[in-house]
Amino acid sequence: MTEQKERKTLEHEIEFSAETLLKRLKSLEEAIDSSGDLIISLGSDYTLLFINRTLSKYLSVDKNQITGRSLREVVDKKIFNEVIKPKFNEVLKGNTVKMEMSYDFPAVGRRYLSVLFSPYKDPKTNENIAVGVMRDITDRVRMENKVKDSEKKYRALINGMNDTIWIIDFDANFIDVNETAVKTLGYTKKELLSMGPADIDSSLKKEKIKELARRMKTDEVQVFETSHKTKDGRVIPVDVSSSLVSYKGETAILSIARDITRLKKAEEALLEERNKLRELHRAVDQLQRCEKEDKLWDKALEVTTNILKLDLCIFYVLEEDKLVPRAVSRAALPEGLITLDIDEGIAGKTIRERKTIQGDDLRKWREAKSVREDVRSFMSIPIGKVGVIQVFSIKKGDFSRQDVSLAEILAGHLREEVARIRLEDELRAQAIRDSLTGLFNRRYFDQSIKKEVKRAKRYKHPLGVLMIDINRFKKINDRFSHMTGDKVLAETARLLKKTVRDIDMVVRYGGDEFLIVFPETNGEPSEVIIDRIRKNLDEWNKKQDIMDFPLTLAMGASYLKPGTDETIETVIKKADQKMYEDKKRQKVHR
């Protein structure tokens, strides 16, 4: 009874296990058939033994219709012969094959697959078959391609930039650099990737970089100015901006360093120019204090050599039709520097055309006059209609646009100051000189004679005077016109000025009367002076065609004796009396 019961129990368990196994097999078949992977089994002659629903969808076929057909009838022939067949043969030899491939499916287009083919022996037929599981990795491949494409674009972007770019990890090491960094710093890329910022910038310490990196915020950009040292020892000033970035999945520091060498030089040049302009404007104040033209040219020379640092210079001044050197630096003074005609040399061309002429090599200018044999570059700047500034250098192309501008500014101020001084001279001359004859007028005489008297008494020198009157001057006016009378007055003044010394004062005393003051004489103006005047007058009469009778003068001399109480008024009165006595002796009337 017991044995029978045990047999029934065993039969029940076997029935239960078989049912359970069938259920599990069916469940497994359904799982395989509904898997998202593409599953296939092939016989040794490439016969399709099984494909799941996913693969049938990709191939756009009914799996029941193609089961039992050859795989070569289903897939692309080229793919089958070049890819599938060689790999399948490896599987038939008992090898597992892993690979990645792409295939154009009718239903879904090109897809990328991760393929695993495994060998299997059918227990019923003892035939070698292959089971393949293909996973669609299209999204991953496309993402990887995008990453690769992004990496390629990133590399092209940073290598195409003129600025130095590097990526720094949080240990203060370079983990990537662009080609500009390699070219600029002179290291190979391999060398740079074994270095860090502290190796090229002495102002940055590795620990400090680490600390700054830890403190940096995601949206923060740090900007600072420093300098980098190249492999060959050159120092390059740079402007650096740094920020946090994600690099290959890790947080890193992106730094962009811009070479600001040109900017620094430009800033230095601008600062130097501003300093020169500031000094030039201060010098202009000194130019404005100059009361004499000679002093003005001397000051201009000082400004040019000391402030503008242009030490080979000549200042030409236009006098009639000549360019006369009025201020010349010692360095520029050549052997035999001469006055130029207005139509010769670069200076003449400059004043005629009223524009700046600049050259890098004086030897190439046919108009050039010899200054110094070693002179090359030059500037020739017009001072309006007044003259020319010429500046030279022994170096070719030594003058910048800023140098020209500063020299032109100086020339502009000089033009204004020369006009001022000449106007002031003209106004002073109008105040102290007679407009017709150019001689000192009575007003100037009255102001200056007191000084001459004091000087004569201080040094105990006689002070001589000579009164002169034109004979028959009324007759000249009445007979030939007042215009002729004016011409006679002017000619007489010129004759008197020509006859006496430079220190003697020739005055139009009034009407047709003249007075000459002789300081530092030995006594009364001698007959020698009077005879010289008469002789020069005789020569003039021989040439004159103004009147039909000769011009004559009546003259009387006297002098102020040292150590006496006699006044200058008394001396002039004595000379006036002697003049009238001379007129009577000549038997002429006014």
Q: Name the residue among 431, 508, 501 with its Cα closest to residue 464.
A: 501
Burial track 73-107 (b if 16+ CB lie within 10 A, e otherwise): eebeeeebeebbeebbeebeeeeebeeeeebebee
d(CA 383, CA 287): 15
d(CA 111, CA 105): 7
> How many Cβ atoms from other residues are within 10 Å of residue 462's Cβ?
18
Q: What is the DSSP letter of 199?
A: G
d(CA 103, CA 55): 12
Give me 441's structure tokens. Answer: 């007028």
pTM score > 0.75 for this model?
A: no
How far, in Å, are 3, 441, 469, 500 from residue 509 at the CA level?
178, 7, 10, 17
pLDDT tens across the length of the chain (590 residues): 566 656 555 555 545 454 554 555 556 667 777 788 888 888 888 888 888 888 888 888 888 888 888 888 888 888 888 888 888 888 888 889 898 888 888 888 899 988 888 888 777 777 778 888 888 888 888 877 776 666 677 677 777 778 888 888 988 899 898 898 899 999 999 999 999 888 998 888 888 888 887 888 877 888 888 899 999 999 999 998 888 888 887 888 888 888 888 888 877 777 777 877 787 778 788 888 888 999 999 998 888 888 778 778 999 999 988 999 999 887 777 666 788 999 888 999 999 999 999 999 888 888 887 677 888 899 999 999 999 999 998 888 888 888 888 889 899 999 999 999 998 888 888 888 998 999 999 999 998 999 999 988 888 889 999 999 999 999 999 999 999 999 999 999 999 999 999 999 999 999 999 999 998 777 666 788 999 999 999 999 999 988 989 999 999 999 998 888 899 999 999 999 999 999 999 876 55
User: What values do phi and psi take at 151, rounded to 5?
Assistant: -60, -40
